[in-house]
Chains A and B, each alone.
Chain A
Amino acid sequence: MIPELGHFALILTLCLSLALAVFPLFGAHQGRASWMAVARTAAAGQFVFVAFAFGCLVWAFVHNDFSVLYVATNSNSALPTPYRIAAVWGAHEGSLLLWVLILAGWTLAVATFSRNLPERMGSRVLGVLGLIMLGFLLFVLTTSNPFDRLIPAAMDGNDLNPLLQDPALVIHPPMLYMGYVGLSVAFAFAVAAMLEGKLDSDWARWTRPWTIVSWMFLTLGIALGSWWAYYELGWGGWWFWDPVENASFMPWLMATALIHSLAVTETRGLFKSWTLLLAIFGFSLSLLGTFLVRSGVLISVHAFASDPSRGLFILIYLAVVIGGALALFAFRAPKVTSRQGFRLLSRETFLLSNNILLVAATALILQGTLYPLFMDALELGKVSVGPPYFNSAFLVPIAPLLLLLGVGMHAAWIKQDGQSLFERLRGVAIVALAAGVLLPWAVFGSTSLLTVIGCALGLWVLLSSLIQPLARLREGKGLTRGLVGMSVAHIGVAVCVLGVTITSAYNIETDLGVQPGETVTVGGYDFTFQGMRRVEGPNYIADEADVRITRDGELVAELKPQKREYRVQKSPMTEAGIDGRMSRDLFVALGDPLGGGAWSMRIQYKPLVRFIWIGAILMALGGALAASDRRYRVAVRHRRREKEPVGVPAGEPA
C-alpha cells in the first residue's frame, strides 16, 4: 500500500511541476499576476508530495518490504538500519528520487528566500526550475520507478553492495547532489535573465549567494568521495580521474569560475554574457555527469546503470535543456553589453584570467574523459585516458592559476599600480620560493622539480592570502565576512595543493608477506603483526589482524585491519586500519593468507594526506563565510571629465 501511495505522490508532484513550469513563465511573459503567483504555491506543493514519496521509499526499506523490486535488489533484513536508509540512494532509481527531492528543496528555498526579487524575474526563475523538475519526474516515472513491485515478493533482499555499507554513504551522495542540483538555481537565474532580456549588477547580487552555497556543498561532496575511496577501497588512493569523478570535478571548476565572474558583474557590470555562459555550463556539466553515470557510454567503477535506453532519455533531456539555454544565449547575449573598462593590471584582468584558466582546465578534463568515446565513434580504435595523462595535463592551466591567484586578490578594480603591488608581494614571493625549494628537501631528504613547484605555489597562495587580513587587523580595522571568507577559501586551496604535492612525492607503499610476530619497517615506523582472529559482524564475518605500530620503541598506534566476507553477496572486502594524524597517515590493509599464519599486507606511509581534505573543508568554510556577508557591495564612483562616450560595439563579451 505504502509504495503505491508513494507512486501516486510522485504523479501528483508531476502535475504540480507541470503547473510550475507552465504558468509562471507564461504569466511573466504576459504580465498576468495570478499566473505568476502559482509559482510559490506549486513549489511548496511539489516539495511536500515528493518528500512524502521519498518517505514512502524510506519506509519500504526500513520495514524490509521485499515486494518492492528496488528494495529487494539493494537491501537485506540483516542490513543495519542506518544503511537501510542510506541504501535508498544506493542505486539508480533511488538516487534519482533523491535528486528530485533535492531539486524540489532548492526550488522551495528559492521561492521562500527571493521575495526581494521583482515578480517577473522570480516567476521566471521558478518556472525554469519547474521545467527541469518536470523532465526529471518524467524520466523517473517512465523509466526508473523505484516503486515497481516484485511479484512474487522475495524472501530476502540481495543486500547492499558491501563497499557502500559505510557511514560515508549516508552523507556523500546527498552532499554531492545538493551541489549538483544547486547549480540549477544559477542556471535558472541565467535563463530567467535571458528571457527578461536584461542583466545587471542586481542580478549578479541575487545569483551569487545561491551559487556559493551550492559550490560549498559540491566541494564537501567531492572531498567526501575522495576521503571515502581512500579509506574504503584499500589501495590508499584518493583520486583516479575516473569519468564519474571528473563528472563531479568539472561542475565544481565551472562553479568556481562562476563565483568569481559574478563578483565582476556585481561590482562593475562587466563579463555579463560570460557569466551567463558559465552559469549555463555549470549546470550543464552536472547534467552531463548524470548522463555519463547512467547511460553506459563510458566505463567507470561508479556507473549506476549501463542502460542505453535510459541513456537516450537523458540525452534528449540534455539536448533540450542545455541546447535550449545555449540557443537562447546565442540570441540574447549579444544584446547584453557593458561600457565599462579596465586596464591590463587590474582585478578584472586577474579574474578574467581565473575564469579562462578554469575553463581551460575543464575543457581538458572534458576532452580527456570523452576522448575514448570520440575515437570509438570515429572508428579510430580504442584508447584509454587515465591518470598518467590527467596528472600531467592538469598542471598546465593550474600552475599559472595558482601563481596568478596569489597576486590577483590584492589587485584593485579598474587600475592597479604595478609598483605598489610588487612591493607588497615581493617579500612573500621570495619566502614562498625559498621555502618551496628548501623545506621538502630538509624534511624528507630529497626533492624534485615538481615538488618544488607544488610547494612554492602552495606556500605562495597561503602567505599571500594572509596579507590582507593581517594588514587590516594591524591597522585596527575590522574584518568583513567577505574578506575572511575569501582568505579562508584561498588558504584552503593552498593547503590542498600542499597536501597533494607532498603526499604524491613522498608517500611510501609496500606490499609484504608478514609472519605472525614479524616486524617490518616502513617510512621510519615499525609495524608488528601480532596475530589474527575471527570477528563476526551483523552481516559479515571477518579475519581481523592485530598490528602494533611503534617508533623508536614508543607505541604509536594499534590497528585492526579486517578482511570481510559479506554473507549474502559473498564478496570479499578489505577494511583498512588507518592511524591518521595531520602530519601523516599510516595505512595497513590485508591481502590474502599465505599459509602458515602468514598474510600479505599493504603498508603505506602517507605524509600530509589529510591536508587534501582539510583544504577542501577550509574552502567550504570560506564559502559559507562569504555567502553570509550582506555587505559585499562595491560602489564605483566614476568621475569622468568632459569626454565623448566611447562607443562600445554591440556584442562584446564583457
Chain B
Amino acid sequence: MIVRGLLVLLLIGFSASLFAIDREPAFTDPALQARYDRLTEEIRCLECQNQPIADSNASIARDLRRKVKEMIAAGKTDQEVLDYVVARYGDFVLYRPPLAPRTWLLWGGPFLFLIIGLLVAVSVIFKKSRLVDDEDELEVEETD
C-alpha cells in the first residue's frame, strides 16, 4: 500500500519532470520571448517536486505557461503577470520571495553575515596584531 503510494508519487513526479516545450509557437518578437522565458523560470510548478513551469510538462505548468503567453500578448507587464499568479496561489508560486518584513532577514542575510564576519575579522586581527612586535625577526621556512 505504501509502496503503491510511493510509486504513484514517483510516476507523477517523474513524468512531470520532463522539461517543457510548448506546442504554441514562440513569440516572433525576441523581446517578448525573452520576457516569457524569464517569467516562466520564476513561476513555480505547483504539482512538481521543485521545478519552474518552464521545465515541466505537468498540466498546471502547461496551463500557467499558456496564461503567461496570453497575458504578454495582451500587453500586460511582467509585474501584472506575477501579481496574477500570486493573487491566486500565494507567494509560494514565485521562486523570488517577496520583499516584506517577514523576508527582511532573508534578503538582508547575505549582507548581515558579511558584516558580522567583518566585525569578527576586525576583532581577531586587532587582538592578534598586538602580539607581534615590529622588532621581532621572523623566519619562515616554507618547503612548499
Contacts and interface: CB of A to CB of B under 8 A. Distances in A.
Tell whether A and B belong to one assembly: yes
A571 B21 contact: no
B95 A388 contact: yes
Contacts, number: 223
A286 B130 CA distance: 38
B110 interface: yes
A344 B21 CA distance: 55
B136 A638 contact: yes
B94 A384 contact: yes
B82 to A, nearest CB: 11
A297 interface: no
A385 B49 contact: no
Contact of A602 (B21, B51, B110, B141): B21
A121 interface: no
Given A636-B139, A637-B139, A639-B136, A352 B121 contact: yes
B112 to A, nearest CB: 9
Interface string B114-129: 1011101100110111
Contacts of A558: none
Nearest to B42: A388
Interface in A520-556: none
Given A383-B103, A636-B140, A235 B121 contact: no
Nearest to B44: A384
Contacts of A386: 42, 44, 52, 95-96
Nearest to B135: A641
Contacts of B127: 652
B41 interface: yes
A384 B42 CA distance: 10
Interface stretch (A110-118, A190-198, A354-362): A354-362
A364 B110 contact: yes
B11 A569 contact: yes
B10 A344 contact: no
A537 B50 CA distance: 30
A340 to B, nearest CB: 7
Nearest to A244: B50
B14 interface: yes
A589 B55 CA distance: 12
Contacts of B19: 233-235, 574, 589, 602
Contacts of A349: 121, 125
B140 A389 contact: no
Contact of A634 (B41, B128, B143): B143
Given A235-B19, A396-B110, A414-B132, A356 B117 contact: yes
Interface residues of A, number: 99
Given A301-B51, A363-B109, A388-B42, A512 B26 contact: yes
The contact size tier of chain B is 35 or more
B90 interface: yes
Interface string A629-654: 10111111111110100101000111
B4 to A, nearest CB: 10
B138 A414 contact: yes
Contacts of B74: none
Contact of B114 (A360, A381, A654): A360
Given A364-B109, A384-B92, 18 more contacts: A299-B49, A299-B50, A349-B121, A356-B120, A356-B121, A359-B113, A371-B103, A383-B103, A384-B93, A393-B110, A509-B37, A569-B10, A573-B14, A594-B23, A629-B144, A634-B144, A636-B138, A641-B136
The 9 A-B residue pairs with the shortest CB-CB distance in the complex, in nearest-first order: A341-B131, A386-B95, A591-B21, A482-B144, A235-B19, A388-B96, A356-B117, A396-B110, A360-B113
Interface stretch (A39-47, A156-164, A437-445): A156-164
B53 to A, nearest CB: 12
A122 interface: no
